[in-house]
Amino acid sequence: MFRSIAAPRHALSVIALICIGLPVLAQDSENGQSIYMGYCALCHGPQATGSGITTLPGIDAPDLTVIAQANEGVFPAGEVAQQIDGRDPIAAHGADRAMPVFGGYFEGDKGVALRMPSGQSMMVSKPMADLVAWLESVQK
C-alpha cells in the first residue's frame, strides 16, 4: 500500500490512524499522490520539496517533506489537513495566506479519522486522507 520511502514508524502511525476511523477506510497514498500532482505540485513542486514552477510574486511555497522534522519528528496529520482545507483561519495560519483554500475540493463523506495535535481525532474525507497519507510518506 505504501511506497518504500515510508519508514516503519510511519506505517505504524498510519495503521493507528486507520484503527480509530469508523467505518474503516484504508488510506491510499498512491491516490493521494495523483491528487497532489493535480492540485499542489504546481506550487510545492513534483517532489513536494517546494520548487514548484509558479513564479507568482509573493508566493513562496514551502518544502512539504520537512514538516515532521520541524515538529520533533512527528507528522501532524490533522494539522496538515486543516492547513490544506484552509477554511479555519486560525488553523490555516492567518488571513494573509497565499495558498488557495482547498476545503471545498475535498468535501464528501468524512469517513476517515486523522489525529490532531491535541490527541483528539478529526474526521476528513477519503481524498483528503489519501493526500495527507502521501505527504506523510514523503517526509524526510
Residue with grid cell 514551502, as numbered in its chain: 62
133 binds ligand HEC (CB under 6 A): no
> Using the 8-state DSSP alphabet, how is residue 80 labeled?
H
Measured CA to CA, the distance from residue 90 to residue 57 in angstroms comes to 24
Q: Specify whether the CB–CB gap between 133 and 11 falls below 8 A.
A: no
Binding window for ligand HEC (CB under 6 A); candidates: 1-9, 21-29, 55-63, 115-123: 55-63
Measured CA to CA, the distance from residue 24 to residue 57 in angstroms comes to 43
Q: Specify whether the CB–CB gap between 102 and 85 falls below 8 A.
A: yes
Instruction: Report in angstroms how near the CB of residue 77 gets to ligand HEC at its nearest.
Output: 10
CB atoms within 10 A of CB 20: 12
Binding window for ligand HEC (CB under 6 A); candidates: 6-14, 17-25, 35-43, 109-117: 35-43
Binding window for ligand HEC (CB under 6 A); candidates: 9-17, 19-27, 62-70, 110-118: 62-70
Nearer to ligand HEC, 102 or 115 (CB): 102
Which residues are at the interface with ligand HEC (CB under 6 A)? 39-40, 42-44, 54, 59-62, 64, 67, 80, 83-84, 97-100, 102, 131
